[in-house]
Chains A and B, each alone.
Chain A
Amino acid sequence: MTSTGSLLWLIPLAPLVGAIVNGAIALATSHRERAVGRGIVGAIGCLAPSIAFVATVASFVQLRALPVDARSLTQHLFSWIAAGRLHVDAGLLFDPLSCAMLLFVTGIGALIHFYSLGYMAHERGVARYFAYLNLFTFAMVILVLGDGLLPMFVGWEGVGLCSYLLIGFWFTDEEKAIAGNKAFIVNRIGDFGFLLGIFLIFWSIVPSGRTGLTYREIAAAAAHGAFSPGLLTAACLLLFMGATGKSAQLPLYVWLPDAMAGPTPVSALIHAATMVTSGIYMVCRLSFLFVAAPVALTVVAIVGAATAFFAATIGLAQNDIKKILAYSTVSQLGYMFLGCGVGAFSAGMFHVVTHAFFKACLFLGAGSVIHALSGEQDIRRMGGLLKRIPVTGYTFLAAWLAIAGIVPFAGFFSKDEILWQAFSRPNEVLPWLPRVLWAVGFVTAGITALYMTRLIALVFLGKPRLTKEAENHLHESPASMTVPLIVLAAGSLVVGFLGVPDFLVRGGDRFGAWLVPVLASAAGGAAETAAPHGASLEWGLMLASLGIAIAGILAGLLLYVRFPEVPGRIAARAGGLYRAVVNKYWVDEAYRAVVIRPIQVGARAFLWKGIDVRGIDFIVNELGFASRMGSSVVRIAQTGAVQLYAAVLLIGVVVLLWVMR
């Protein structure tokens, strides 16, 4: 199990070194007007995740060579916390789950670092940018690779910090700085739940003498019945609360659309491909706990499905290219939680992987479009770009087909698997739920195809509606940007074949089989084998979801290419509903009214004017006044005449001697 010759330690170390070196360069050159050593900074910045990726691949090869039930590499780094009964080691755990996650975290991460070379070429603060990006990679690796809940929590907070730093990368723009704050604060709410969940778990397993909070210890404690059902449900719900923050689910999703204020490669890496999927990773990692808490799992499924639908409808009416993709990400994350929530953890993870490819491709493509148009983000001022920037255009099309769910692109297999699992797995808490979940997911698939087609139609098809200035500077992006796009588009095309449903090709679900040793199967977990439905039903559902994807695409093409005046009329007819969607259901405004305003008013009127001014300040001021009064009396004796002092001293000595006589 434990291997000495592994390269695991190198995976987090390389990006950490990169972050430190680039951070030092950034600090040393921050006062210079012109960026210094752009080439060196970029080389270090790209080399670090590349080394991590190579080490991950090497470890993957090593892991594959092991027999199926012994597939885990661990590495003990050092003893981290030893306090009373809490004894936590810093260790790394490389098993099929963390392997699957790390392969694309470091792989796609490295690609996005390369892309950043081109995208940030005209920006200041490149060293700072790459330092943050490397630090993010380090934190993400710790989150995934850390053996235990506490190392995961460190990574969890680390990626949150880097997310904040990178959203507010252009911090002189107040709006962007505020977006960073919003992301950080909203995530704190979720992290609070996550931390409470960890405390509950620790509290439960302490009596059994297992105090390291590693996954193996928690699993062993769970197997010995350390958790009472109610407590386990509470712990899982609290952990899921953390996941709703980090992975942008209802009701804490509001930070993700605003997070698009950061540079576009950051949106691709952190807010689409990797960080936001860590909630799903956490649920999968602790799947053995969640399957024992069916109520919590049902909540996960409902929140996932609701988020998927809710965010997809908002995505229909946005005009900022990155905002559309952001709501799309929220929606797709909802799909992943839907998959996990019905107990099909491998389906959820598979969608994580495929989504990482096509969404990173979409974001980088959007970045390429924005780059080509000198910063334009409004899709109403785009159009007809397919011929003008063909590489970006065609890679974007590939990712579009993948997210819409068209055979044989990646999104088709993963999304279809989730829908099928949602449909076929029984729910013991709410028996009618599977049909509803499936229906919501099914409709959302159609909406997804529709809003993505709208995006494609308005950006790449139709007549150009560019501004004069953008028209003049229009250019295809440099190779450092297009090559990652091509790789990711190719990935969007082929990754799906890792998880071909078993009923189509025997043993086709290689991804699911790879994860079998680490993922728990749900209580009704025999669903795959003992499902009463036949293959014909699975065929039917598959064709249905393909059908609604095609219907969505056709509707989009008809509405936005063939009859471009129709959408406006529909919007006018829909009235209130349209306004609700355009304004994102006024969720931000509602939060402002219900949460932020009361806190501000309470802080100002009660805490500041009340407790602080009338309470604390009052006491301190009165104490100061009293001591001034007292001292003004005593000060009379302080004449400064040394001879008087000497006389008093003498009298004192005489009195003392008299007393001691």
Chain B
Amino acid sequence: MAITLSHYVGLAVVLFFIGTLGVLSRRNALIVFMSIELQLNAVNLVFAAFARYWMRVDAHVIVFFVIAIAAVEAAVGLAILVGIFRARRTVDLDDMTVMNE
């Protein structure tokens, strides 16, 4: 069976859905981070698949762009998490509701 475009898109949808569930339901901020990475990579997969399908290079550029952004976001986000952990000894999202004050 040949692997067609819809296989790639289907895999990406599944990955994105898993990532979304992780973001919405997990308590540990670190896991939420990983879920976000999963969502980003689902999108990357779609871009790469369509780049191949249309034989266009534009989407590759976007993929690299997303990877770079994801790396930066991970670096900054982890730094923030480490900072929060040092201050509060926890990274449980349910305990982080200071934004309503």
Check if B100 sits within 8 Å of A646, measured CB to CB.
no
Residues from chain B with a CB closer than 8 A to the CB of A643 are 23-25, 32, 93
State the CA gap A389–B3 with chains docked (Å).
123
Determine if B2 is an interface residue (Cβ-Cβ < 8 Å): no
Residues from chain A with a CB closer than 8 A to the CB of B100 are 635, 638-640
Determine if B34 is an interface residue (Cβ-Cβ < 8 Å): no
State the CA gap A520–B101 with chains docked (Å).
79
**Contact pattern, A 639-657, Cβ under 8 Å of B = 1, otherwise 0:** 1111100110010000000
**Contact pattern, B 39-54, Cβ under 8 Å of A = 1, otherwise 0:** 0000000000000000
B97 to chain A: closest residue by CB: A640
Check if A640 sits within 8 Å of B93, measured CB to CB.
no
Query: Restricting to A614-661, which residues have a CB under 8 Å from any CB of B?
Result: 635, 638-643, 646-647, 650
Task: Give chain A nearest CB distance to B20 CB in angstroms.
Answer: 7
B26 to chain A: closest residue by CB: A643
Inter-chain contact total with CB atoms closer than 8 Å? 27
B101 to chain A: closest residue by CB: A640
Check if A646 sits within 8 Å of B24, measured CB to CB.
yes
Task: Give chain A nearest CB distance to B97 CB in angstroms.
Answer: 3
A642-B93 in contact given A647-B24, A650-B24 (Cβ < 8 Å): yes
Determine if B87 is an interface residue (Cβ-Cβ < 8 Å): no
Task: Give chain B nearest CB distance to A639 CB in angstroms.
Answer: 5
Check if B23 sits within 8 Å of A646, measured CB to CB.
yes
State the CA gap A18–B25 with chains docked (Å).
78
A638 to chain B: closest residue by CB: B100
State the CA gap A646–B22 with chains docked (Å).
11
State the CA gap A546–B25 with chains docked (Å).
113
Residues from chain A with a CB closer than 8 A to the CB of B25 are 643
Task: Give chain B nearest CB distance to A646 CB in angstroms.
Answer: 6
Check if A641 sits within 8 Å of B24, measured CB to CB.
no
Check if A642 sits within 8 Å of B24, measured CB to CB.
no
**Contact pattern, B 78-100, Cβ under 8 Å of A = 1, otherwise 0:** 00000000000000011011111
State the CA gap A173–B79 with chains docked (Å).
65
Check if A640 sits within 8 Å of B99, measured CB to CB.
yes
Check if B20 sits within 8 Å of A642, measured CB to CB.
no
B99 to chain A: closest residue by CB: A640
Task: Give chain B nearest CB distance to A277 CB in angstroms.
Answer: 70
**Contact pattern, B 7-44, Cβ under 8 Å of A = 1, otherwise 0:** 00000000000001001110000001000000000000
Partner of A641, one of B23, B32, B94, B101: B94
State the CA gap A639–B95 with chains docked (Å).
11
State the CA gap A12–B64 with chains docked (Å).
73
A650-B20 in contact given A639-B100, A640-B100, A640-B101 (Cβ < 8 Å): yes
Residues from chain A with a CB closer than 8 A to the CB of B94 are 641
B27 to chain A: closest residue by CB: A643
Check if A641 sits within 8 Å of B20, measured CB to CB.
no
Residues from chain B with a CB closer than 8 A to the CB of A650 are 20, 24
Task: Give chain A nearest CB distance to B39 CB in angstroms.
Answer: 11
Task: Give chain A nearest CB distance to B26 CB in angstroms.
Answer: 8
State the CA gap A639–B98 with chains docked (Å).
9
Residues from chain B with a CB closer than 8 A to the CB of A646 are 23-24
Residues from chain A with a CB closer than 8 A to the CB of B101 are 640
Task: Give chain B nearest CB distance to A231 CB in angstroms.
Answer: 69
State the CA gap A647–B100 with chains docked (Å).
17
Residues from chain A with a CB closer than 8 A to the CB of B97 are 639-641
Q: Residue among A635, A638, A639, A642 with the most chain B CB within 10 A?
A: A642
Task: Give chain A nearest CB distance to B92 CB in angstroms.
Answer: 11
A635 to chain B: closest residue by CB: B100
State the CA gap A635–B99 with chains docked (Å).
12
Cβ contacts A to B, 18 pairs, < 8 Å: A635-B100, A639-B97, A640-B96, A640-B97, A640-B98, A640-B99, A640-B101, A641-B93, A641-B94, A642-B93, A642-B96, A642-B99, A643-B93, A646-B23, A646-B24, A647-B24, A650-B20, A650-B24
Besides the known contacts A638-B99, A640-B97, A642-B93, 6 further A-B residue pairs in the complex with CB atoms under 8 A apart: A635-B100, A639-B100, A640-B99, A640-B100, A643-B24, A646-B23
Interface residues in chain B, defined as those with a beta carbon under 8 Å from any beta carbon in chain A? 20, 23-25, 32, 93-94, 96-101
Closest 9 CB pairs of A and B: A640-B100, A640-B97, A640-B99, A638-B100, A647-B24, A639-B100, A641-B97, A646-B23, A643-B24
